[in-house]
């Protein structure tokens, strides 16, 4: 019976420790979904806030970092955008969407830095 109690406790601990991670990933996805919705409405400050929250909940969520890069770009925060895109690519180097957004960002930022105005 002692062994059964130990196994039950081990399973309980495993479930308890896995649950916060599942909640964090779920919370991160909810933040990204909401951020995408407000971004479609042109509310970029709110979108950036939501994407920041998402990466706080789940720092390994590459799509959230990608969206944060887009949001920073819309706010003119180019250094922050670069960092966000690079983080997204580090997390998911084979993601074509992230790579495309990063390449477009570099192209635009190169043009802006070359523009003598």
* CATH code at 23-114: 1.25.40.10
Alpha carbon distances (Å) from 65 to 6, 12, 29, 41, 83: 41, 33, 12, 20, 9
Residues 23-42: pLDDT tens digits? Answer: 889 999 999 999 999 999 99
For 55, residues 6+ apart whose C-beta sits below 8 A from its C-beta are 28, 61, 64, 65, 68
The domains of the chain are located at: 23-114
Predicted confidence band at 10 (pLDDT cuts at 50, 70, 90)? very low
Query: How many angstroms separate the first and last alpha carbons of the chain?
Result: 80
pLDDT in tens, 97-112: 999 999 999 998 877 6
pTM of the model as a whole: 0.78
**pLDDT above 60 (res 117):** no
Residues 44-81 pLDDT 10s: 999 999 999 999 999 999 999 999 999 999 999 999 99
Sign, CA torsion 34/39/41/46 = positive
């Amino acid at each position: 019976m002692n062994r059964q109690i130990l196994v039950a406790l081990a399973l309980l601990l495993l479930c308890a420790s896995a649950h916060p991670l599942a909640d964090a990933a779920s919370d991160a996805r909810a933040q990204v979904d909401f951020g995408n919705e407000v971004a479609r409405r042109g509310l970029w400050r709110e979108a950036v806030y939501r994407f920041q929250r998402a990466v706080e909940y789940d720092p390994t969520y590459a799509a959230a970092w990608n969206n944060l890069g887009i949001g920073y770009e819309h706010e003119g925060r180019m250094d922050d955008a670069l960092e966000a895109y690079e983080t997204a690519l580090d997390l998911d180097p084979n993601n074509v969407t992230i790579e495309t957004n990063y390449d477009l960002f570099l192209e635009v930022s190169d043009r802006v830095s070359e523009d003598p105005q």
